């Protein structure tokens, strides 16, 4: 039976469906020139959604970094399809291997690498806005690649989010309060810091979400607890996580941006202090 994307995929060999959901599908394929690639094909429902995709591609094309996949091609196919081709990365999503990083030493090392990767964006005044375990790929040598810049905010370009929207672009369970309240003026690199705080605690607690009502033992939902500032620091204490790491997590998870770190250098300095303590 013919597939919906056969015409687009006819120039590739060894095509294999990797993931399908909503209006988008991703295929592993062999490109005659570039070898193994990932071909993403999807529908864009509006001009603004196509512009988001274009911005993501432009960012990736402008980045030369081992922390991001290389963009190979981008095109629009009538009437309403987009095609993105990226290098294939042999990896596992962090969501599938959080247990490999539950020790303080390994969690800090991974966090440091992710921040080093994000600094590439932050230095260009770009906010990822969707840091979560599914968007961090772990390579065989345990180094990370950061993916999915589909809702990245380019601070020097016009916002594509309507001010009247109740919620800004995000994955709610990993979003900062500013994203959940669509406070556009508060979106900057400290937005990503909040998501990193969630990620750090999840690693230390082997996947448990710090704002999950079942973990916090209060609140109606993860989003409600994020907005209320209720997270499971007590669980870190039970696990005897060093105080310096608890304080690192608490600062990353500051309810307001000004309570988080001033910049990447300040975070890395705090991580170095924690690493010295857990040696």
Active site residues: 130
Sequence-distant (6+) residues with CB within 8 A of 219 are 211, 213, 225, 228, 230
Of the candidates 5, 147, 121, 131, the one whose C-alpha atom is nearest the C-alpha of residue 69 is 147
> Which region holds residue 14: left if phi is over 0, alpha if psi is between -120 and 50, else beta?
left
DSSP string, 102-161: -SHHHHHHHHHHHHHHHHHHHTTTEE----SGGGEEE-TTS-EEE---TT-EETTS---S
> What is the distance of C-alpha 158 from the center of its chain?
22
What residues are paired with 138 via a beta bridge?
92, 144
What sign does the CA torsion over 118, 53, 75, 11 have? Answer: positive
User: Coil, strand or helix: which one is 186?
Assistant: helix
The encoded tokens of residue 218 equal 């209060």
How many alpha carbons fall within 13 Å on the CB side of residue 170? 25
Peptide bond preceding 79 in cis form (omega within 30 of 0): yes
d(CA 147, CA 40): 13
**3-class secondary structure, 83:** strand
């Amino acid at each position: 039976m013919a597939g919906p994307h056969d015409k687009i995929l006819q120039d590739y060999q060894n095509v294999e469906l990797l993931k399908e959901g909503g209006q988008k599908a991703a295929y592993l394929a062999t490109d005659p020139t570039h070898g193994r690639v990932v071909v993403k094909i999807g529908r864009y429902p509006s001009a603004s959604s196509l512009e988001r995709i274009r911005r993501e591609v432009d960012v990736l094309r402008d980045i030369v970094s081992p922390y991001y996949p290389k963009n190979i091609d981008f095109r629009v196919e009538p009437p309403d399809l987009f095609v993105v081709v990226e290098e294939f990365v042999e990896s596992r999503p962090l969501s599938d291997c959080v247990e490999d990083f539950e020790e303080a030493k390994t969690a800090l090392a991974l966090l440091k690498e992710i921040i080093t990767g994000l600094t590439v964006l932050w230095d260009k005044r770009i906010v990822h806005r969707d840091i979560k375990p599914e968007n961090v790929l772990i390579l065989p040598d345990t180094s990370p690649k950061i993916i999915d810049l589909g809702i990245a905010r380019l601070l020097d370009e016009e916002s594509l989010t309507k001010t009247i929207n109740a919620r800004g672009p995000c994955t709610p369970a990993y979003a900062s309060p500013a994203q959940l309240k669509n406070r556009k003026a508060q979106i900057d690199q400290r937005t990503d810091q909040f998501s990193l705080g969630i990620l750090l605690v999840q690693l230390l607690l082997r996947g448990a979400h710090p704002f999950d009502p079942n973990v916090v033992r209060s609140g109606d939902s993860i989003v409600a607890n994020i907005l209320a500032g209720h997270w499971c620091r007590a669980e870190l204490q039970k696990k005897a996580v060093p105080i310096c790491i608890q304080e690192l997590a608490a600062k990353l998870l500051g309810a307001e941006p000004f309570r988080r770190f001033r910049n990447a250098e300040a975070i890395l300095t705090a991580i170095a202090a924690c690493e010295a303590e857990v040696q």
